[in-house]
Chains A and B, each alone.
Chain A
Amino acid sequence: MEEIYNKLLCREDQLKNLLDFLGDSDEPLPASLFVSGSMATGKTLCLTTVLQYLNYKHVFIDCIECYSPKIMYEAILTGLSDDQVDVKCDSLWELINNLNKLGNNQNSYEPIVLVFDRAERLRNMDQNIMSTFLRLREFCNLNVCTIFVTHLIYDNFYFKVGAREPIKLYFPNYNKEELFKIIFLHQKSFVRHLTNNHNIDCDIKEELERPELFANFLNAFLSVFYRPCRDLIELQHMARVNFVKYCEPIIKNEIKSNDLSKLWRHIAPILKTSLELLYLRINNTKVPTQSPGKENGDTMQPQCYNFENTLKEELLSTKTFAQSFELPYYAKFLLIAAYLASYNPPKEDKRLFMKNHGKQRKKLQQVKAKAKINEKLNTQLGPKVFTLDRLLAIFYAILEERIGLTSNLLAQIATLVELKLIAGSKEIDLDSSKYKCIIGYDFISAVAQTVGFNVRKYLYDFI
């Protein structure tokens, strides 16, 4: 008992509840439990530890995996039967028949627990599946309990009729102190991770292993990261990455391990930049064994180095994102044309793209109307749908040279759709297909810059 509490810090209340519900093997189990709480709050971990401790027969079902209910039924049956046999089970009644058969075979009233992880997926399945599992006890003569684990609350589950309310159990988020305690539990593994990857002198190693150092780091780390992220797993990952950086000056003997303010000044900017990479999980460790030197190898290496540097920028700004990959020349113009078609009203096309469009008389009314529209600029309103004909017309208007409408050109539109720069149907049908440009102004201006084209000149908003 004590072991569990020591292993799972800060979840005492929940563990006690669980044990109260499930604990006594001579009593019947509750029909169903509903465990909710945000991601990485220890729901699954608590359940597994408790079930293992109680030594109940239990089956874990990850609902995301069960793209068809058949897989779920079979998983339940194979999990419950002791010997490895291939079970076939296509429908709910077959499942219940099988469960009953199982119940007849066993003599004692043995407790059985079915855990449905990521139960929110059950909502997308057949309506009656979840209702059935909620009252599974009533259908078969087993001491069975179904537990649903999900990050949604019970109100998000909607049942038409006759669902039996489960007992609800809520796992709250960890607060800062709890996070600190939990991450601190893994201090050894953090240090091992560090020492495995670097070769370090003995006395420095001892210093690194001092818990105070790690505690200090963790304090600094959580002060930056606690606000944007409560996900324990992500925090652990970021802590691991940053702890290495924290210790680097100590390893290099630049900063003493007890000089806290200096260490803080060293780590603060690093933490801030790595805050931007939260959840992105880019691995920057270099592959140590470079391929044996070929002629290409030499030329490639400086390039590689460049990539490493630009990668972060690329993630952060759209401009470098646009420049990071190269499009064919006409594809760029097609993209620009698509953008213009999406963000200009069609009736202004004549004025924008034709050379002799006649004089535009500015009536007072128009000016007023425009002033009104100006408050919500087209570019801020989001893209409008356009037809292929309009796209091609604008494309030919902004392209200076005359080229034929070739199949290669049309294929480019499909490619742009494929690359998710334009949304629309992949098949090109000259009459009916409609598209939408789904990239932003920053992106298009970066693309336009590479072909020397001024987008602003052709945008109705900026005239």
Chain B
Amino acid sequence: MESTISVSKGVFLFPNGFKKTKHSKKKPKCNLNERLSKDLWYETFKCNWELIENQLKGLHEQTYSVLLNDIVNYVKLINQEHEYDTLEGIIPSATLLTGVNQPDHVNQFLALINKIREDVTPHVAMINSQDAQTVKHFVENAVWQLIHGQDVLDNSADENIDNDILTQFRIKKNQCTVKTLLSWYQTKYMKQPPKKQKCSVLKKALVIIIPDFESFNCNILQDFVMIISSYVRLLPIVLIFGVATSVSALHKSFPYHVSSKLLIKVFHSHPSHVYMNQVLENIFLTHTSPFHLSGKAFELMTDVFLFYDFSVTGIIQSIKYCMIDHYYGDNIKSLCCRRDEIEETVNNLTVDDLENIRHLLSFRPFLEVQDCETKIALFKDNNFFREILSKELHKLHDYIHTFYLCIRLLSVFVKDLPKNTLGKTIRELYTKCSMECVTNTQPYRESMQLLNFQSQLKLIETIKNALKEINFDIPVTPLRSTPSKNNLHNITLKNDLGLDFAKTIRIHLLTFLRQIENACNDTSVFTNTDMDAENDLENINVPGNRYKLKEKLLKATRVERIQSEYEMIRSRFVCYLEEVFAKGLQPPHTQTFHEIIFFSDVSSVKKQIVGSPRGAIHTALSNPIHYLQVCSNISNLPGFPSSPSFSLLYVCMYVSACKQPTAK
């Protein structure tokens, strides 16, 4: 302790001979990886996350491709047209309205850069506002990136570039001015004998991307635009602005003499909530996803998105965190894997793990139903338990399949109903359905009632959509039995769930569809009578005859309406739907072993995802031990102070005192 000079300095530095070398730095990481990779749960987690990540990448490319193609085409077009643009000093520029979810933009712009590099020109620079505190930095960064971005690409792509050009232009960053860019560009493209390359290849556009327009200093941007505009005759420069709010932001920050130097083309990107819905529906809310969130956790994620940040990257990271939390250190979670791997994983479980599974809460109701012998067998015979376990897990997967199918069907039927009591999107329905048994709720009943009033055309359309949804889910196989032969009265749901369930639903829906389509004649007759009644009403509707009208209307209500064939089928259809949903939409927490696949520990995750600074300070002040996790045993020591600053000091002393002997 001699080396400590003063407490007031706050930091106690004890040189312990630790040397920073690359070797030693890598070692602990490796150890961690090795240690983790041995664990079963980590394997499963890694594999599953990679699966999800790949899906995300695919979806990402798919969503952005249209927009990116448009922009790239625009840039290409400018590149070609540039020669005969007679107006001087006009910079062609694209404005991409990105929406306010700024964390997501990074990916979007990276994709854009890659796309432009591939299709149009290798010279692309992206300047963030942090890199452009002054005009000097701005220009230097832009020019440096334009000149050197090329080399990086060239080296990897083809080797036969003129080496002298390369060496000549390995310039320092502080030499990068627009003049250097100009001379570089001229040596690169103009001086080369034109016979070597085709004319169109000769001049390649220089693209400068400014992704976060709003956070730039206006004056710097203005100067930059002015500088570029004086060179645009010699250099084919294209600017791309990423604007989060709206085009007017661009005009607000540029005075007339600057904005008149730009030729602005506006592009709109997807609203982020649309993208989020896509991500959730296509990746996380499907039966193919190995990991599922319980209703509460899911609601937390979507709330954070809708109410706070609109960031898809954010929601994906939160879900990833949930996944880590779900898997971490728990071998039984390795069962949360793809369906075809269940048997293998069950066999890999140790006896301890099996014991842990027996302690799961959802195992109890399952146990109570069994007879005495099986109960004993379940506890004593590990192999028997394994068998039952894998069987139950398969059941659970079947259930999940049906559950999502039913949610999709429900969303198809409910989507166009007035008032939208249940919600429009699949994610809303999912939250509702997985929190409680939705078939018992009032909004559900209301929407079923509304479904009972739907017109024939509309109903046919929705059934067709529903069929599409099912066909998307399961591959279409040629139907063995023609559905028309099936009598309606035979339609009963069998007990099994899963793929078979979907198949039967498909057949039943087809049957209903045909019947409803055929039922059209009778209804038209019925509507005729309806029309008559209306005509009568119109006749009556003369001033003074209000009393008669009232009487007539009263009578009309009393008359038993004769159901048309369509109406009969419709009510039967709705009954059928109710039956299906009652079966399929049981909330997950009623299932055996749901803890393995569904993540439900909301409270612990909430603390991490939604940080609350004042709450944290409060806890730290009232209960300092909460954050000083090292010393759960310290607090029991005599004389432990309760005031936070003292306790902090105490802990520091204690820990250093503990460490001293071990160090020596």
Tell me the A residues contacting B by CB distance below 8 Å: 39, 62, 64-65, 67-68, 71, 75, 118, 186, 189, 193, 196, 231, 233-234, 236-237, 240, 279-283, 285, 287-291, 294, 296-297, 300, 303-304, 307, 311, 314-315, 321, 324-331, 404-412, 415, 418-421, 430
Asked if B628 CB lies within 8 Å of chain A CBs, one says: no
CB-CB nearest 4 A-B residue pairs = A291-B69, A407-B611, A408-B308, A283-B265
Question: Is the pair A315, B248 in contact by a Cβ cutoff of 8 Å?
Answer: yes
For B70, B226, B249, the residue with the greatest tally of chain A CB atoms inside 10 Å of its CB is B70
Contact residues in B for A283 (Cβ distance below 8 Å): 92, 263-265
Distance, CA A65 to CA B178, complexed state (A): 8
* Given A311-B247, A407-B613: A296 in contact with B262 (beta carbons within 8 A): no
Q: A287 contacts B77, CB within 8 Å?
A: yes
> How far in angstroms is the closest Cβ of chain A from B168?
11
- Min Cβ gap B230→A in Å is 5
> Which of A233, A290, A325 gathers most chain B CB within 10 Å?
A325
A351 to B223, CA, bound (A): 48
Given contacts A240-B87, A327-B100, contact A296 B65 (CB under 8 A): yes
Residues of B within 8 A of A324 (CB): 97, 245-246
Q: In whole angstroms, how far apart are the Cα atoms of A368 and B177 in the complex?
A: 64
A291 in contact with B66 given A326-B100, A419-B100 (CB within 8 Å): yes
Contacting residues, chain A, for B136 (C-beta < 8 A)? 67-68
Task: With A65-B178, A291-B69 given, name 16 new contacts (CB 8 A).
Answer: A237-B260, A279-B259, A282-B265, A291-B70, A314-B247, A314-B248, A321-B248, A325-B245, A326-B100, A326-B271, A328-B310, A405-B612, A407-B611, A408-B610, A415-B102, A420-B214
Asked if B355 is at the interface (CB within 8 A of a chain A CB), the reply is no
Assess whether A329 is in contact with B259, with CB atoms less than 8 Å apart. no
Contact A328 B306 (CB under 8 A): yes
| Assembly CA distance A410 to B309 (angstroms) | 11
Q: How far is the CB of A372 from chain B (nearest CB, A)?
A: 34
CB within 8 Å of A: which of B41-81? 62-63, 65-66, 69-70, 73-74, 77
B:71-125 near A, CB below 8 Å: 73-74, 77, 84, 86-90, 92, 97, 99-100, 102
CB distance A325 to B66 under 8 Å? no
Contact (Cβ within 8 A) A325 B307? no
B22 near A: Cβ within 8 Å? no
Q: Are B268 and A67 in contact (CB under 8 A)?
A: no
CB–CB B266/A282 < 8 A: yes
User: Does any Cβ of A come within 8 Å of B179's Cβ?
Assistant: yes
In angstroms, how far is the closest chain A Cβ from the Cβ of B472? 12
**Knowing A328-B309, A330-B308, A420-B249 touch, does A404 contact B615 (C-beta < 8 A)?**
yes
Q: Do B613 and A405 touch across chains, with their CB atoms under 8 A apart?
A: yes
Judge whether B65 and A294 touch: CB under 8 Å: yes
- Residue of A whose beta carbon sits closest to that of B72: A291
- A368 to B84 CA separation, bound complex (whole angstroms): 69
Task: Say yes or no: is B304 at the interface (Cβ < 8 Å to chain A).
Answer: yes
Chain B residues whose C-beta falls within 8 Å of the C-beta of A62 in the assembled complex: 227, 230
User: CB-nearest residue of chain B relative to A121?
Assistant: B223
* Residues of B with C-beta under 8 A to A297: 66
Structural contact, A321 and B246, CB atoms closer than 8 A: yes
B207 within 8 A of A: no
Give the Cβ gap from A76 to chain B, nearest Cβ, in Å. 12
Query: Is A326 a contact partner of B310 (Cβ separation < 8 A)?
Result: yes
A287 and B70 contacting across the interface, CB-CB below 8 Å = yes
A-B contact count (CB 8 A): 170
List residues of chain A with CB within 8 A of the CB of B263: 281, 283
B610 CB to closest chain A CB, in angstroms?
Answer: 5
Q: Which of A186, A193, A279, A419 is in CB contact (< 8 Å) with B245?
A: A419
User: Closest Cβ of chain B: how far from A436's Cβ, in Å?
Assistant: 16
Taking the closest CB of chain B, its distance from the CB of A414, in whole angstroms, is: 10
Asked if B309 contacts A236 (CB within 8 A), the reply is no
Interface 1/0 per residue, B604-645 and A, CB below 8 Å: 000000111111000000000000000000000000000000
| Min distance, Cβ A338 to any Cβ of chain B, angstroms | 15
Q: Once the chains are docked, how many angstroms separate the CA of A412 from the CA of B305?
A: 12
Alpha-carbon separation in the docked complex, A174 to B431 (Å): 68
Bound complex: CA A327 to CA B99 (Å): 8
* B interface residues, Cβ below 8 angstroms from A: 62-63, 65-66, 69-70, 73-74, 77, 84, 86-90, 92, 97, 99-100, 102, 134-136, 139, 177-179, 212, 214-215, 223, 226-227, 230, 244-249, 251, 256-257, 259-260, 262-266, 268, 271-273, 304-310, 610-615
Closest Cβ–Cβ distance, residue A407 to chain B (whole Å): 4
**Pair B99/A64 contact, Cβ less than 8 Å:** no
A229, closest chain B residue (CB):
B256
Chain B residue with Cβ nearest A299: B66
CB-defined contacts of A285 to chain B, threshold 8 Å:
265
Q: Is the CB of A406 within 8 A of B179?
A: no
Closest to B615 in A: A404
Of the listed residues A39, A189, A296, the one surrounded by the most CB atoms of chain B closer than 10 A to its CB is A296
> Are A296's CB and B63's CB within 8 A?
yes
**CB < 8 Å neighbour of A65 from B74, B99, B177, B214:** B177
Residue of chain B at shortest CB distance from A303: B268
B residues in contact with A421, CB < 8 Å: 245
Which residue of A has the minimal Cβ distance to B97?
A325
| A419 cross-chain contacts in B, Cβ below 8 A | 100, 214, 244-245
On whether A328 and B246 interact (CB within 8 A), knowing A291-B70, A405-B614, the answer reads: no
Contacts of B257 in A (CB 8 A): 39, 231
**CB within 8 Å for A65 and B227 given contacts A237-B260, A314-B248:** yes
Residues of B within 8 A of A71 (CB): 177, 179
- 21 A–B contacts from the bound complex (CB under 8 Å): A67-B136, A67-B139, A186-B86, A233-B89, A234-B260, A240-B87, A279-B259, A279-B260, A281-B90, A291-B73, A311-B266, A326-B271, A328-B305, A330-B307, A330-B308, A331-B308, A404-B612, A407-B610, A407-B611, A415-B102, A430-B613
CB distance from A152 to the nearest CB of B (A): 13
On chain B, the residues within 8 Å of A327 by CB distance are 100, 310
Contacts of A321 in B (CB 8 A): 246, 248
A409 to B613, CA, bound (A): 11
A418's partner among B69, B102, B223, B226 (CB-CB below 8 A) is B102
**In the complex, what's the smallest C-beta–C-beta distance from A452 to chain B, in angstroms?**
15
CA distance A294 to B69 in the complex (A): 12
Contact A67 B260 (CB under 8 A): no
Chain A residues within 8 Å of B273, by CB: 326
- Which of A67, A236, A290, A314 is within 8 Å of B135, CB to CB? A67
Give the nearest-CB partner of A189 in chain B: B86
C-alpha spacing A287/B307, complex, angstroms: 36
How far apart sit A445 and B247, CA to CA, in the bound complex (Å)? 20
Chain B residue numbers with a CB within 8 Å of A64 are 223, 226-227, 230
Q: How far is the CA of A307 from the CA of B266 in the complex (A)?
A: 9
Are A328 and B65 in contact (CB-based, < 8 A)?
A: no
B271 contacts A280, C-beta separation under 8 Å: no
CB distance from A405 to the nearest CB of B (A): 5
Q: How far is the CA of A186 from the CA of B87 in the complex (A)?
A: 11
